[in-house]
Chain A
Amino acid sequence: MSPQDRSTRTIAVVSAGLSTPSSTRLLADRLTEATVAALRDRGVTATVEVVELREHARDLADNLLTGFANGPLRSAVDTVTSADAVIAVTPIFSASYSGLFKTFFDVLDKDALIGTPVLMGATAGTARHSLALEHALRPLFAYLRSTVVPTAVFAASEDWAGGSGPGGGLPDRVQRAAGELADLVAGRPPSAPVDPFADPASSFEDLLRGTS
């Protein structure tokens, strides 16, 4: 591995906002900028790939029915599952992540994000939804066995008007979360793709013996 490889990482950003522009994408962008800057401080250059789930709404419904991801969705899935880190941001609908957001993670292979560092974000009209990050998103990524950073960032409508403050305004939370993600990403080697069609590590004889 060249020194350059060691200092380069890919960050996939999953945004489930529905309007254009959306406050969800706005939060995703803030988290991404802060993470890229924090990685730069640690000597790591980050490449960012954004997946706007709105563009894949029909693809995702099709995938639920057919069992496979069509071309455009396949690219999005590959982007996210091969990234060194994921920033995942959803609007809160009816006290939880949006259906579109959940559907995307439903169609991923359950092992696809094992160990992947994840930074979670959510937006809503009121701060009373803020714990949805902890009771809905965090268990989802726990199931996927991802490594989720301690700070999850919630932005209600009023947060966009406020700056940094003594209690920790939105910019402070963004900074803290980005720093946590950057520490995780910079401390790990770049992810290596897994090929399910590589020659099996164990022979078929082992498989036979294992069951007889």
Chain B
Amino acid sequence: MQFGIFTVSDITQDPTTGRTPTEAERIKAVLAIAAKAEEVGLDVFALGEHHNPPFFSSSPTTTLAHIAARTSTLQLSTATTLITTNDPVKIAEDYAMLQHLADGRVDLTLGRGNTGPVYPWFGQDIRNGIELAVENYALLRRLWTEDVVNWQGKFRTPLQGFTSTPRPLDGVAPFVWHGSIRSPQIAEQAAYYGDGFFHNHIFWPPEHTQKMVEFYRKRYEHYGHGSADQAIVGLGGQFFMRKNSQDAVREFRPYFDNAPVYGHGPSLEDFSSQTPLTVGSPQQVIERTLGFRDYVGDYQRQLFLIDHAGLPLKTVLEQLDLLGEEVVPVLRREFAALKPAHVPDAPTHASRVAAAGGARDATVHAAADDVTGQVPEQVREEVEAR
């Protein structure tokens, strides 16, 4: 099982000091958090994508490429990549490029994005959200699996004889998760392709997550990818830990009370009982997290949100120390002991290459001029046209 963290890249005022970090500070802080994640033995770092303040992460592959260069084992992922407003051609190119730079340590989680105004900034309409997710992903897959793509759809210009470069590393595309809080259609999409399904799991009650995951598992089996308990499931989660649980509650409360999304609403205690939020000791986080398995079954990836709501970098790094030293080693052992042998691990580049029968060079060599990029026939046609 993989353990990691995910960040939405929010730049939020620290309610205990009144200070809001600059973009420069927050960007560097996230890089430090990612490096620390590998140092304390976590498996995954996932970064969100947003195109409006208070978030900085408009260009996740740039950030992840930097992190890739400074880490050696960390799996890089997204939370989420906007399949609706990004051109699928650009996603295919960017993430294949990242895959090469990171030596295959890349997967991505696709999401629709729920901020209405973002859609028109990229020439789209939120009312087409599901349709965009369906069409764009169908094209994205073809761009990664077929060297030359001829394609026509509803939402972008047609492609004729198009080759997305670079080709996926070793001829194997990055593994894809589909994230959705509430849309069964997205769970259905994940099941149809035999891809992973990731549930955010931090904002809604566990009963809801359970229904979404059950539906995905049932449909995964329906489409013949394996039995329901072999489907690939990832969950979010959030905690705040101190050795002494009272200290955790006291320190986290102002951040909770003022947090974007749920702040100024339910009490910390109510929200902790209604959602998977755990504020307490490492032992409490261990017990709560092991309990997730009771309602989603054996699953493959657990990511935690630990750096939002204005929490200072120093505090976040302390959380990572506790997570790496006291929590994850126990979770690894306990989850592994419970998992039946026929339940797979989360796919990695290595496992996908092996499943494909080994690595192959997928480079598409064009008979093109080194300088202009033009092929001879093209030049001849242009000359004759004059």
What residues of chain A have their CB less than 8 Å away from a CB belonging to chain B? 61-62, 64-68, 70-71, 196-197, 199-200, 204, 207-208, 210-212
Residue from A67, A207, A212 within 8 A of B154 (CB atoms): A212
Query: What residue of chain A has the Cβ atom nearest to residue B214's Cβ?
Result: A197
Residue from B154, B222, B262 within 8 A of A66 (CB atoms): B262
Residues of A within 8 A of B185 (CB): 200, 207
Contact B153 A212 (CB under 8 A): yes
In the assembled complex, how far is the CB of residue A55 from the closest CB belonging to chain B, in whole angstroms? 15
Residue from B135, B184, B223, B264 within 8 A of A196 (CB atoms): B184
Contact B135 A212 (CB under 8 A): yes
Contact A208 B184 (CB under 8 A): no
Contact A68 B192 (CB under 8 A): no
8 further interface pairs, Cβ-Cβ under 8 Å (given A65-B262, A71-B274): A62-B266, A65-B261, A65-B265, A196-B184, A199-B219, A211-B131, A212-B135, A212-B138
Contact B134 A66 (CB under 8 A): no
Q: Count of A-B contacts with CB under 8 A? A: 66
CA distance A76 to B191 in the complex (A): 33
B166 within 8 A of A: no
Q: B18-56, CB under 8 A of A: which get 1 and which 0? A: 000000000000000000000000000000000000000
Contact B205 A68 (CB under 8 A): yes
Residue from A62, A199, A200 within 8 A of B265 (CB atoms): A62
In the assembled complex, how far is the CB of residue A58 from the closest CB belonging to chain B, in whole angstroms? 8
Residues of B within 8 A of A71 (CB): 205, 274
Residue from B134, B218, B264, B274 within 8 A of A207 (CB atoms): B134
Q: B258-282, CB under 8 A of A: which get 1 and which 0? A: 0001111110001100100000000
What residues of chain B have their CB less than 8 Å away from a CB belonging to chain A? 131, 134-135, 138, 152-155, 184-185, 188-189, 191-192, 203-205, 208, 211-212, 214-215, 218-219, 222-223, 261-266, 270-271, 274
Query: What residue of chain A has the Cβ atom nearest to residue B114's Cβ?
Result: A67
**Closest 7 pairs between A and B when the two form their complex, measured CB to CB:** A65-B265, A204-B192, A62-B266, A197-B215, A211-B135, A62-B265, A211-B131
Residues of A within 8 A of B152 (CB): 212
CA distance A200 to B187 in the complex (A): 11
Residues of B within 8 A of A62 (CB): 265-266, 270
In the assembled complex, how far is the CB of residue A87 from the closest CB belonging to chain B, in whole angstroms? 29
Residues of B within 8 A of A64 (CB): 265
In the assembled complex, how far is the CB of residue A212 from the closest CB belonging to chain B, in whole angstroms? 5
